[in-house]
Structure 1
């Protein structure tokens, strides 16, 4: 049993609030880190320089995520069903899955640390901390480049680590949340365009694109609601700039945040030996340290709005049976 939509909504609320209160555990205790270790071992066995081998790898990882979600549902059923606690039975697996899959607190905390380094004119420390958020090479970035990278990460990762877990928790319960987390983790591991993963990582990258497609657009809509004075520019700039981005989802999220903040994101960046000239997103000046604060506040409000909407969905689901009984 995956629970009703209202029960799953309550689970999403609990999971996001758990992440806000506790944050992520150390890697050695983090289920996502365990999953990454396991899939690294699977890769050693199945790797071939082919899309077919990559599809096997991605399928096994998604299956592992689904199995973990089903185990959470079964465990909650076994423990809570005898007590007749149906609401907890439906909400608890989602809460645990969303808490594991979310990382909003970490994003906000790390962005604040980098911002403080920039405000203290300690560019070296800001560069040293940046790899906690992004995969690009920070060594050649100036202060504005570091700020742009942080703002882009807040946008992209709020989709991956806040909105998408909430969305999949509502739609498919704990299995949906953990399949998305598995796919997103595999994309981070093998989905980039290096010589080793250009073909092998295709399946993971495409699955990640598919599972984040709607959450990215829901995030952009949330940003438009939270920055109503910029909503018209947001629609215009997302339509104009996002299609040129190599990711069909990151481009939408980053263009939306660029429009809301009235800054310009994108531009050249380096991953190891690879240099990419990313499209420019938005109209305005390049961001500075103060724009990290504004971006962090924006994504924080977006997460709180998700919590409020899910609470409303839970309340509506709770009230519906009473309404039907009165009508009968």
Structure 2
């Protein structure tokens, strides 16, 4: 298309046993001028719903008359997991973000991954994938994949350069194809308005960086690149009582301190005490509300500031 325009289609995947179609939503916004194709996706994990709202606002505010290039938006990449508000697809309990590029003859999760790969990711020149802490925790950082400048342009204060990236993600698929890719972890739990707007602002700033929108790229705040992050999962289920509220995300906790205590709701026995693992602990993901917790849930993600790349 040469003229500015918008289209919407639902890409077929399969049918459920009750006859209902499983489809994937795809909005395409064609700019007035030539430029790259940028892909935006969210809700690959069904309990990370903040990304869908971020992309809705991007869709509403984007002016195709000013746009150079094309934006493809997949706001709900796993509609089955979204319906059940679960991280994994409920029909086969597979994690969609571990099975790319998928398999058209495989599990339903693998079938969705195959359709996303061939009908969406293969068409892109740049890619931003939105994730969150889930239904309870909140999180705040941006992965450095294969384009550090693009990741930095999202303007989050914390970035992460993993030594061993997860296999089977959308980003490992796109980076293998040489597509500049950014994975964003923002919000979750309460889905604060502040985090929604930070996500919208980050996407528009990345688009200016890609020269898809006019205007200067907003300079990044002081940024720190983490190279070591400890994922802390409770080993005991029960009621978790955090020692800090959500305002601790992004803050530094010095020395060994208690992060949370878990109690047996029936006997009142203290089952577990979770503590900070490093001398200088940067809080990246946390549970900031009293809540039920299962053994093995995401509890906290703590970065080691002593091994970080600080500016």
TM norm structure 2? 0.27
TM norm structure 1? 0.26
Structure with the higher fraction of residues in helix conformation: 1
Structure with the higher fraction of residues in strand conformation: 2
